[in-house]
Amino acid sequence: MEFFVSTSAPSRQRTDCAIVGAYDKGVLSETAQALDKRTGGRISRLVKRGDIRGKSGEALLLTDIQGAACERILVVGLGARANFKRKQYRKALASALGALGRTGARDAVSFLGLEQIPDADQYTLARATVEVVANAHYRIPDHKTANKRPKPTLTRFGIAAASRGDRTQVERGIGHGGGIVAGMSLMRDLANHPANVCTPTYLSNAAKALARDHRSVRVRVLNEVECRRLKMGSFLSVTAGTEEPARLIVFEYYGAARSEAPTVLVGKGVTFDTGGISLKPPANMDEMKFDMSGAACVFGTIKAVAELELPINVIGVVPACENMPGGRATKPGDIVKSMSGQTIEVLNTDAEGRLILCDAITYARRFNPDVIIDIATLTGACVVALGSHYAGLFSNDDELSAALRTAGERADDRAWPLPIGEEYADGLKSNFADFANVAGREGGAITAACFLAKFTEGLRWAHLDIAGVAYVGGAQKGSTGRPVPLLVDYLLNKQ
């Protein structure tokens, strides 16, 4: 998709489709009024007939246009003027793209960003526009042999700027939005593949391909022998029951001086999670291919950083493995030793994500990081607590927590802070090891974070539990690409 900036008036804009808005009760926006005047009152007549009501999510396509330079006019409902903010803008634009996708239009120009939106400037709206358009045109990796979805005909999308002075901000938004959607698309591609395709080896090869595409990215892949030499007993305990070899994938991106402390991103890469010996119920187990969404998010964020050529240093660490039952699988009650030297009683083999992340966090210390952020579909308890709207945010550093939360608000990819405390960590006590990998049922997302916190002494660390936001389940299952926007926004504002 090619994006461009337009400063032409709606009536003079040559395009296959001009997108304008109407507020509740058919009140036309200024751009819709301009086109209405040039078309002899065609739009206002449709308002009087009740065909255009301006309700949020509605869209009406006008063809055979006379008097204006465009071939089609798409009037989108914006809802109540007082309530039209960034969230409603995204909804309106998504509705427009749905209607536009049923036409043969090859290019379009949106004038929706010229409306008065109190919580967004031209840069923010342009970035959001690129995300909405690109995500609407995303297609999952297709393994069908017939009835494949046709590719969209739309190839160019214009964003109207109020003046030539706003062009720079709109272009900046387009550029940053392009980097974000490139990362989101990579994350979604990797996560949407079935687990018999996207194995730890596949992820390793995908990492190498990413490095080939971007000279600024270096990749190192450690095999199980190398991980054993590093004494990653916790990580390797998870992969003991499978025939698929585990891999530790390490990205290095240096956009600043090597002396500058990097941000380290650690992503959970369980390419399929059966629960191990603590086997999951069969229903919806197919969705456990998404249990590597944290890893896919690291891939996507590294790609976005490289695309945008950010002047910062970023390291990605991805422990990739399967969690399967088998004759050599770790059993409930087994004790394993982590890379940090601390011992863990594995009471539940389905609490495996924390077992691979703890060794990856310990490994990440060698980069002397400024901060470490781990990303994981870690607990169903977080879904119960926050649903599918917010990621869970845990941190031992208030400044880092606030920065991530603010980034999520700016990116419309929100996270909500949850506590870490000794009261919760007490549930991890063990008679046989330094601590157990699970506590009681209550506060499961919090006790999981407390477990990870035991490996972060002296580090500025945050944990994002993305179990509720990384993918959609059910009949329409698929990866969302979250929280790539949150992380890229954080890194954009850190430089």
196-248: pLDDT as tens digits: 999 999 999 999 999 999 999 999 999 999 999 999 999 999 999 999 999 99
Q: Is residue 70 part of a domain?
A: yes
Distance between CA 257 and CA 313 in Å, rounded?
8
Q: Which of 237, 223, 458, 457 is nearest to 337 (CA)?
A: 237
Give every CB contact of residue 201 below 8 A, 6+ residues apart in sequence.
Answer: 244, 245, 247
* Domain membership of residue 283 as a residue range: 180-492
| Lookup: tokens for 111 | 């004038």
Does residue 354 carry a catalytic annotation?
yes
What percent of the chain is modeled with pLDDT above 90? Answer: 94
Query: 130, 163, 196: which is the final residue of a domain?
Result: 163
CATH of the domain at 440: 3.40.630.10
CA-nearest of 342, 217, 349, 339 to 270 is: 349
> Whole-number mean pLDDT of the chain?
96
Q: What is the pLDDT of residues 164-186, one digit of tens each?
A: 889 999 999 999 999 999 999 99
Is residue 174 domain-resident? no
In a domain, 206, yes or no: yes
Last residue of some domain: 128, 163, 198? 163
Q: Is residue 479 classed as helix, strand or coil in its secondary structure?
A: strand
CA distance 22 to 395: 44
Instruction: Tell me if 153 sits within 8 A of 177, measured CB to CB.
Output: no
The span from the CA of 173 to the CA of 115, in Å, is 17
The first and second tokens of residue 286, run together, are: 């197919």
Residue from 87, 167, 231, 280 carrying the catalytic annotation:
280
Cβ–Cβ under 8 Å, residues 23 and 78: yes
Which residue among 354, 405, 454, 482 is the active-site one? 354
DSSP per-residue letters across 67-99:
SSS-S-EEEEEEE-GGG--HHHHHHHHHHHHHH
pLDDT tens readout for residues 291-305: 999 999 999 999 999
206 with 290, same domain?
A: yes
Q: Pairing state of beta strands 343-346 and 269-273?
A: unpaired
In a domain, residue 391? The reply is yes
pLDDT the model gives residue 23? 98
- The pLDDT score that the predictor gives to residue 164 is 83
Q: From CA 200, how far away is CA 220, in angstroms rounded?
A: 14
pLDDT at 144: 84
The answer to whether residue 172 sits within a structural domain is no
Inform me whether the pLDDT recorded for 72 exceeds 80: yes
Do residues 47 and 151 both lie within one domain? yes
Instruction: Give the confidence band of 146 by pLDDT, cuts at 50, 70, 90.
Output: confident
Whether residue 37 lies in the annotated active site? no
CA distance 145 to 149: 11
Nearest to 18 by CA among 26, 27, 29, 319: 29
Q: What is the reported pTM?
A: 0.97
Q: Do 198 and 155 sit in the same domain of this protein?
A: no
Residue-wise pLDDT tens digits, 385-430: 999 999 999 999 999 999 999 999 999 999 999 999 899 999 999 9
Partner residues linked to 100 by β-bridges: none
148 pLDDT more than 90: no
318 & 404 share domain: yes
Kindly state whether residues 106 and 192 are assigned to the same domain: no
Is 253 inside any structural domain?
yes
